[in-house]
Structure 1
Amino acid sequence: MPRNHGAAAATDITEEFTHRPWHQAVQCSWDGKILQLTAENDYDIDGLALSDEFADAITACIAPAFDGQVEILSVQVFGTEI
């Protein structure tokens, strides 16, 4: 992610997830290097569905500027990290 696109991308992706109400407490952030998404839902035990939708949101919001990959950093189920 080019540094000059990160903050706007985080805002746009957070807004994009308002149209995906099956995910709650969605927050996309930019730390100057990494675009990170966190969310809660009650069906995605391995995080793959959220990861897929994050990739879709990246494509919808910033595709030409994105040349990275989407990785799942962690998944917590009922307060226990997997």
Structure 2
Amino acid sequence: MIAAAVFVIFPLCLAIAASSDLITMTIPNRVSIILAVAFLGIATLAGMPLVVIGTHLAAAFSVLVVCFGLFALSI
């Protein structure tokens, strides 16, 4: 059940993001929100330790900060 969710949600969100980016040059925020909520739900259902979930969230936040900085610098 968990593997089925991973193999449906992730590719579907990527397909929506790719098609939206191709057509409108923007990716809807709801795609990112769905991926984040799905990760939290699937990680807890899979029994992932809180330390590992925290590490994943810290990595995501650090990527967000770096990309935000690059965007602010217009790079």
TM-score range, shorter chain: 0.3 to 0.5
- Of Structure 1 and Structure 2, the greater helix share is in 2
- Of Structure 1 and Structure 2, the greater strand share is in 1
Q: TM-score, normalised by structure 2?
A: 0.40
Q: TM-score, normalised by structure 1?
A: 0.37
Higher alpha-carbon Rg: 2
